[in-house]
Amino acid sequence: SKMATVVERVDGCVGSLDSDAVSLRQTTPPPDQPHQNNPLLGLPIVAIETILNFLSYDEISLLRSVCKRMDMICQRVLNQGFLKVERYHSLCQRQVKAQLPRESERRNHSLARHADILAAVETRLSLLNMTFMKYVDSNLCCFIPGKVIDEIYRVLRYVNSTRAPQRAHEVLQELRDISSMAMEYFDEKIVPILKKKLPGADLSGRLIGSAPAGPSTSLTTMSLLAKNTPSRSEMTKVQQQVKVNGASMTVLRREMQEIRVKQLEQQKQLQDQEQKLQEQSQVIGEQNARLAELEHKLRELMD
């Protein structure tokens, strides 16, 4: 299935996290090295990136397993791809909003569905940003799910090229499925590996797992730091506590993201309902005025 393909693709990328791959959002690749066995890898990085631009981001994510050099270049392209699709979405949204009338008149406008779809994509981009970019900015990984970038581009191009698009939930079904699967897999399988590479992760884990809350916290921390080496049983308890805390945080983070999405959707529904009430109130007011006018004419005829 499509969702299984996403998991398999993301899983295939985990191995490269153990190498000294550099995040490609901030750093510059090292000088080119000769690759006698593969003329393609011997090309300048700019030339390789130009060639990769003819592929989909899903195909680029799969090429990371070729070698370290290709992994480094593909990570760079994937990170740039996510930033580009964010900018493209912002451009599309600005163009649509510039053509929309005031809020009360948007419901029946020809671009109403376009605006709904772009708003939903904005929410999805925010969730992806919160999930991945913290670790991308820390040079721990790249934006792994290239297929998600492809799907966002497909949705945006569909919105730009279609005068009467389908409803938002129909257009975004595939994007929601594969992005949710990618974020869930990343949180559960990859984030625990990356957290171990964060600066100060071991020290903070020991303090969080062992220091009790209360007035004596500072004293306990000082005594804990004063020890030369913790015992094996203490380390085991700390590791178990860190695992429990990490699992709980992953669940809570996922629940908060889902609640935020539901809140945004409910807020949009409330706005639609409020607009309908305003329209119905206006119709009722017009009908009341018409009835008053007819009643006045009827009285004149009776007199």
CA distance 110 to 93: 15
Over range 236-243, report the average pLDDT.
Answer: 73
**Cα distance between residue 216 and residue 218, in whole Å:** 6
172 and 291 fall within a common domain: no
**Better-predicted residue by pLDDT, 223 or 109:** 109
Rounded to an integer, the average pLDDT of 39-62 is 85
Instruction: State yes or no: pLDDT of 27 exceeds 50.
Output: no
* pLDDT of residue 34 exceeding 60: no
Least confident among 152-166, 190-204, 252-266: 190-204
Q: Is residue 70 part of a domain?
A: yes
pLDDT reported for residue 35: 55
Given a cut of 70, is residue 24 above it in pLDDT? no
Say yes or no: 31 and 78 in one domain: yes
15 by Cβ neighbours in 10 Å (0-12 / 13-18 / 19+) ranks as: exposed
What's the rounded Cα separation, in Å, for the pair 127 and 254?
10
Give the single-character DSSP code of 141.
-
| Widest pairwise Cα distance in the chain | 107
One-letter identity of residue 238: V
Residue type, 222: M
Q: Provide the number of structural domains found in the chain.
A: 2
Q: At 152, is the pLDDT very low, low, confident or very high (cuts 50, 70, 90)?
A: very high
Q: Are 89 and 125 in contact (CB under 8 A)?
A: yes
Nearest-10 crossing angle of helices 173-185, 232-302: 160
* Residue 174 domain flag: yes
Residue 146 has pLDDT above 80, yes or no: yes
Question: Over the stretch 95-136, which tens digit does the pLDDT of each residue have?
Answer: 888 877 776 666 667 777 788 888 888 888 888 888 888 888
pLDDT score recorded for residue 154: 92
Residues 148 and 239 in one domain: no
| The pLDDT value given to residue 227 | 47
Residue 270 lies in a domain: yes
Of residues 43, 51, 49, the one with CA closest to residue 24:
49
Same structural domain, 181 and 203: no
- Let me know if residue 212 belongs to a domain: no
In contact, 10 and 144? CB cutoff 8 Å: yes
Between 289 and 224, name the one with better pLDDT.
289
pLDDT of residue 229: 55
Print the domain residue range for 271: 199-207+231-303
- Is residue 214 scored above 60 in pLDDT? no
> Does some domain include residue 258?
yes
Q: Please state, in angstroms and rounded to a whole number, the distance separating the CA atoms of residues 147 and 271.
A: 33
Sign of the torsion angle spanned by Cα atoms 7, 198, 258, 239: positive
Task: Give the model's pLDDT for residue 106.
Answer: 63
Q: What is the pLDDT of residue 236?
A: 73
In a domain, 215, yes or no: no
Three-class DSSP category at 198 = coil
* Cβ proximity of 140 and 23 under 8 Å: yes
